[in-house]
Structure 1
Amino acid sequence: MNENMIIVENEELSDRIDKVITAQNSDWSRSQVQQWIKEGNVTVNGQKIKSNYKSNPGDKIEITIPSPELLDVIPEEMNLEIFYEDSDVLVVNKPKGMVVHPAPGHYSGTLVNGLMAHCKDLSGINGVLRPGIVHRIDKDTSGLLMVAKNDLAHESLVQQLVDKTVTRKYKAIVHGNIPHDQGTIDAPIGRDKRDRQSMTVTDDNSKEAVTHFNVLERLKDFTYIECQLETGRTHQIRVHMKYIGYPLAGDPKYGPKKTLSIGGQALHAGILGFIHPRTKEYLEFEAPLPSEFEALLEELKSN
């Protein structure tokens, strides 16, 4: 446990207690401070308070930072493809076939296992099994992910996702020949009542979902496209492309029974852009298509 003390010395600091504390230490996020208050780790003049407490000049604020929770996830050395890294954020290119974070049936070999071996400082907002994870891509989708190395970065990146300011572009191969060059799919996505492991376009307990797409090349019975996410629902591109009649090639869950045997959907998160949480500079990264995706594309072109 670490103890810190703040003394409110002027009227300008007479504000909500969580704002006063984060103003004194920018490495602490407001959600983290609110959690400490809830757990009784913040006192004012020796008394426990609530998050809406308004500070007064002369208040003695004591913060007891609890020892970090030991993670149950075992670090595993991996040859991760890191595209960018500093003290706040990390951008990694996840290979196809890798699960992002531990879950029942996948407690090792995940991206989080590798990240924990690569760097010890990951944000704790998402708990012990998903440290640093701001957003996810499916096991059989390859491509770029942003990872938060502290809670301040985590909150900023999540807010950018909420504000729809993160650039996320995917390359995909779909069944069928899309006749129009571009389009927008605006259809809410929720859990499929008939299959709780799947998502579907539905009005029941659904959330807004918007996907924009552009046709890159028509390949006889398939179409090579680029999708840009406006929202980030589970399986969004896979569900939306099935919804308009052009399911992803190789998709075992949402594709037709007679699809390509390529070990999962032909989907690659190739472009990722966001505003750096600390410097406020816009950063954008592009990961080339994986070799197996390139090979499939060339094969379809030759046919």
Structure 2
Amino acid sequence: MEFLIDKEYEEVRLDKFLRKKLPTLPLTEIFKGIRVGKIKVNGKKSKENYRLQLNDVVKLFFKVEEDKKEDLTNTKISSLELEKIKKSIVYEDERVLIFNKGNNVVMHKGSGHEYGISEILKEYLKNPNFNFVNRIDKATSGLVIGAKSLVVTRELAEEIRERKVEKKYYILVEGRIRKKEFIIKSYLKKLEDRVVELEKYEEGAKESISFFKVLDYGKNCTLLEGTLGSGRTHQLRVQLSSMGHPIVGDIKYGKGKENFMFLFSHYLKIEKYGIEIDLPIPNEYKQRLQ
């Protein structure tokens, strides 16, 4: 038996996750399984207090009765929503589906949302094994990767972990940046409801690197292309805000009052599968630059 960790269980302790998923299994058996290596994360022994990460694979090397799951394909999704979602699919084959997520659209159910695009696509594909292998913030728009089977999910999750999937973003920031190309390297640390940038390492912080180049200028704004050298939560948003150029429309890290954040994941390359997609600059960006 194995579980693929999605956003719902990200940062949850391994032992608490197993208690939730396996209510009939005594806690002593959970701890014993972790200790002797009969429960592994990504093929390796772990500790009970390990906090699960997106796309981790938790595998049990013994039989146990699993808690009954809710049928995610039984949500009340209208045919109109399904058609709208279909138009945002930019690539699909027997293994992978690439989706162009809109601004302020949630990827998964929860936090007051009965369902997100993940649940809608499960219904559209009639495939309960469909999973997104990367995610972007609700306020961010652009390309996200979906896998149609657990095997492909594991393969792509490994490619992402090893930084073999290339992603680029169009970003409109406040102010005028004079350097045509620059790199931001810093440490990011997650607090309760936000991420902070640190100049030097401290416990809980993760090294983060981003590459930027200027594409165009508008009135009191700069259009950048950003490439991630690491994949941390809110990485581009925090680093650009800390240098005094927050993303236009970013309510959390900038002075955004708009219902639109100008951060768009436009480029994706999955060399293992021979997939390369590059979307044009959205019209909203061009209008704002003018």
After superposition, give the CA deviation of every residue in 1:232-287 in whole Å (9 maximum; x if it has no partner). Answer: 1111110110122211111101003xx4x431321111111113xxxx44211122
1:212 and 2:211 aligned: yes
Please state whether the residue corresponding to 2:156 is helix, strand or coil: helix
Aligned pair partner of 2:63 in 32, 35, 39: 39
* CA-CA distance at 1:88 after TM superposition: 1.3
* CA-CA distance at 1:132 after TM superposition: 0.2
Change (3 A) 1:220 1:291: closer
Change (3 A) 1:67 1:86: farther
Structure 1 alignment gaps of length 5 or more: 1-29, 42-65, 124-130
Change (3 A) 1:207 1:294: same
Q: Distance in 2 between matches of 1:107 and 1:200?
A: 30
1:252-267 to structure 2, matched below 5 A, reads: 252-256=251-255, 259=256, 261-267=257-263
Q: Distance in 1 between matches of 2:276 and 2:94?
A: 17
Aligned length: 227
Q: Distance in 1 between matches of 2:225 and 2:239?
A: 13
* CA-CA distance at 1:90 after TM superposition: 0.6
Alignment-derived partner of residue 273 in structure 1: 269
Change (3 A) 1:67 1:251: closer
Work out whether residues 75 and 115 of structure 1, in 8 Å CA contact, stay in contact via their aligned partners in 2: no
1:145-160 to structure 2, matched below 5 A, reads: 145-160=144-159
Alignment-derived partner of residue 246 in structure 1: 245
Work out whether residues 182 and 214 of structure 1, in 8 Å CA contact, stay in contact via their aligned partners in 2: yes
Q: Distance in 1 between matches of 2:204 and 2:120?
A: 35
1:285 and 2:277 aligned: yes
Structure 2 alignment gaps of length 5 or more: 1-55
After superposition, give the CA deviation of every residue in 1:159-187 in whole Å (9 maximum; x if it has no partner). Answer: 11111111110001101111111111111
TM-score (norm 2): 0.71
After superposition, give the CA deviation of every residue in 1:33-92 in whole Å (9 maximum; x if it has no partner). Answer: x43x23359xxxxxxxxxxxxxxxxxxxxxxxx898443562624312111112211101
Alignment-derived partner of residue 198 in structure 1: 194
Work out whether residues 185 and 212 of structure 1, in 8 Å CA contact, stay in contact via their aligned partners in 2: yes
The runs of at least 4 consecutive aligned structure 1 residues that moved more than 6 Å come to none
* CA-CA distance at 1:104 after TM superposition: 2.1
Task: Please report the RMSD computed on the Cα atoms of aligned residues, expressed in angstroms.
Answer: 2.6
Change (3 A) 1:97 1:161: same
Work out whether residues 72 and 119 of structure 2, in 8 Å CA contact, stay in contact via their aligned partners in 1: no
Change (3 A) 1:67 1:229: same
Please state whether the residue corresponding to 2:206 is helix, strand or coil: coil
Alignment-derived partner of residue 47 in structure 2: none
User: Aligned partner of 1:71: which letter?
Assistant: D
1:227 and 2:226 aligned: yes
User: Aligned partner of 1:170: which letter?
Assistant: Y
1:106 and 2:98 aligned: no
Q: In terms of Rg, which structure is larger?
A: 1
245-254 vs 99-108, which deviates more? 99-108
1:48-197 to structure 2, matched below 5 A, reads: 69-72=69-72, 74=75, 76=77, 77-78=81-82, 79-80=84-85, 81-108=88-115, 110-123=116-129, 132-192=131-191, 196-197=192-193
After superposition, give the CA deviation of every residue in 1:204-230 in whole Å (9 maximum; x if it has no partner). Answer: 412222111101112242111000112
